[in-house]
């Protein structure tokens, strides 16, 4: 799939832990970076829209696996981190552990949705928009939604509108990471047998520089 001259679209999902809450959905053209953004809810609706889109890949903002050594996300265990999570931490990228409170519900839904999408013949990858935004040098949504929207537009993404929600903008970010994935411009963190997080290509020494800058004067 990797290489130049790719045609098609990718899907980005900012998955909610509950079907009652908004899930951001973005369909992004690999060549033009034209985005179509909406909000979905139920698993059936999400799978249906993904299948209709026939994307090259579905990039999901949710944990899609559990740490090696755990039998389930609800099991009482001292094991809380996957290798990909530990690599995020070494890079100085902040995240919520997947075994923490509401993240358990999101992890269970993410794993279930991944299975449904793969049964439908779609490739599914795990992404992390907040970390991707750090690497791309654009603001996370907690620093301002309009600032994040403008940062995405500076990457060349088209079709965004003022007043978009954080769910929608994180879905756009997820889809952009999906585009980088099909172009081969990405870094895969973790162990393939345990679960990978796909990130934008990380420059050499990026984590060390970020940690130094976070220390302040």
Q: What is the pLDDT of residues 129-148, one digit of tens each?
A: 999 999 999 999 989 999 99
Mean pLDDT (the chain, rounded) = 90
Task: Note whether 73 and 184 are within 8 A (CB).
Answer: no
Query: Would you say residue 31 has pLDDT above 50?
Result: yes
Q: What pLDDT, on the 0 to 100 scale, is given for residue 213?
A: 41
Annotate the chain with DSSP letters as a single string.
Answer: --SSS--SEEEEEE--SSTTS-EEEEEEETTT-BEEEEEE-SHHHHHHHHHHH--S-EEESS--S--TT-S-TTS--S----HHHHHHHHTT-----TTSTHHHHHHHHHHHHHHHHHHTT--EEEB-HHHHHHHHT---GGG-HHHHHHHHHHTT-BS--TT--HHHHHHHHHHHHHHHHHHT-EEEEEETTTEEEEEEPPPTTHHHHHHHHHH--
pLDDT 10s digits, 45-90: 999 999 999 999 999 999 999 888 788 887 787 878 899 999 999 9
- Tokens (6 digits) for 17: 């832990």
User: Which range is least confidently modeled, 2-6, 78-82, 166-170, 187-191?
Assistant: 2-6
pLDDT 10s digits, 177-204: 999 999 999 999 999 999 999 999 998 7
Q: What pLDDT, on the 0 to 100 scale, is given for residue 208?
A: 53
Domains detected in the chain: 9-215 (3.30.420.10)
């Amino acid at each position: 799939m990797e290489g130049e001259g790719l045609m098609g679209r990718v899907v980005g999902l900012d998955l909610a832990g509950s079907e009652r809450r908004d899930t951001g959905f973005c369909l992004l053209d690999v060549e033009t970076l034209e985005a179509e953004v909406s909000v979905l809810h139920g698993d059936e609706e999400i799978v249906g829209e993904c299948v209709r889109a026939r994307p090259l890949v579905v990039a999901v903002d949710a944990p899609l696996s559990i740490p090696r050594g755990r039998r389930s996300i609800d099991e009482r265990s001292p094991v809380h981190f996957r290798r990909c999570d530990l690599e995020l931490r070494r890079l100085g990228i902040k995240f919520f552990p997947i075994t923490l409170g509401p993240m358990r519900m999101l992890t269970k839904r993410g794993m279930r949705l991944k299975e449904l999408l793969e049964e439908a013949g779609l490739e599914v990858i795990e992404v992390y928009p907040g970390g991707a935004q750090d690497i791309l040098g654009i603001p996370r949504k907690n620093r301002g939604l309009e600032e994040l929207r403008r940062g995405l537009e500076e990457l060349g993404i088209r079709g965004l509108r003022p007043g978009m929600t954080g769910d929608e903008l994180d879905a756009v970010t997820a889809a952009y990471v999906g585009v980088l994935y099909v172009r081969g411009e990405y870094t895969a963190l973790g162990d393939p047998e345990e679960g990978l997080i796909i990130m934008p290509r990380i420059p050499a020494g990026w984590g060390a520089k970020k940690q130094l800058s976070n220390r302040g004067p």
